Each structure stands twice: as structure tokens, then as C-alpha cells.
């Protein structure tokens, strides 16, 4: 069975044009992989992109 992917209309910019809140593409954070490590207050969190294209953030 052939799966179809939806075309990406536009990539998010590093900073949203309508606000001062930064926006990042998940694939930029993972360097086109599936996992990124994010630190906050000396704790490391793991950001994962699932096969279904969902994000999971764990300690």
C-alpha cells in the first residue's frame, strides 16, 4: 500500500511574523533526525518525533 504525504504549504520561520514568540520547525531542532535534547534549569528533556509525525517530550 502506497502512503501519501501532504505537501508542506510553508515552513515556519525562526520567528513568527505576527508575534515576538519564536517558532522552530521540529526537524530543525532534531537536525532532520527524530530526537533532540533540550535543557531547562539543568534538566535534560528528550524531544522525539514519532513515525506518525507527533511530538513527545519526556524527562
Q: Is residue 37 part of a domain?
A: yes
Q: Is residue 33 part of a domain?
A: yes
In the chain the first and final C-alpha atoms are separated, in Å, by 36
Q: Is residue 20 part of a domain?
A: no
On the question of pLDDT at 4 being above 60, the answer is: no
Dist. CA 42–CA 14, nearest whole Å: 24
In which region does residue 51 sit, left (phi positive, over 0), alpha (psi from -120 to 50) or beta (all else)? alpha
Q: Is residue 43 part of a domain?
A: yes
The tally of domains found in the chain comes to 1
pTM of the model: 0.65
Domain that holds residue 35: 26-58
Q: Is residue 14 part of a domain?
A: no
Q: Which three cell numbers stand for residue 54?
A: 507527533
Q: Is residue 2 part of a domain?
A: no
Q: Are strands 43-49 and 35-40 parallel, antiparallel or unpaired?
A: antiparallel
Q: Is residue 32 part of a domain?
A: yes
pLDDT category at 20 given cuts 50, 70, 90 is confident
Amino acid at each position: 500500500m502506497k502512503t501519501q504525504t501532504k505537501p508542506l504549504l510553508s515552513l515556519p520561520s525562526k520567528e513568527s511574523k505576527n508575534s515576538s514568540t519564536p517558532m522552530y520547525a521540529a526537524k530543525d531542532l532534531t537536525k532532520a533526525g527524530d530526537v533532540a535534547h533540550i535543557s531547562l534549569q539543568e534538566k535534560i528533556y528528550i524531544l522525539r518525533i514519532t513515525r506518525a509525525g507527533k511530538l513527545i517530550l519526556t524527562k
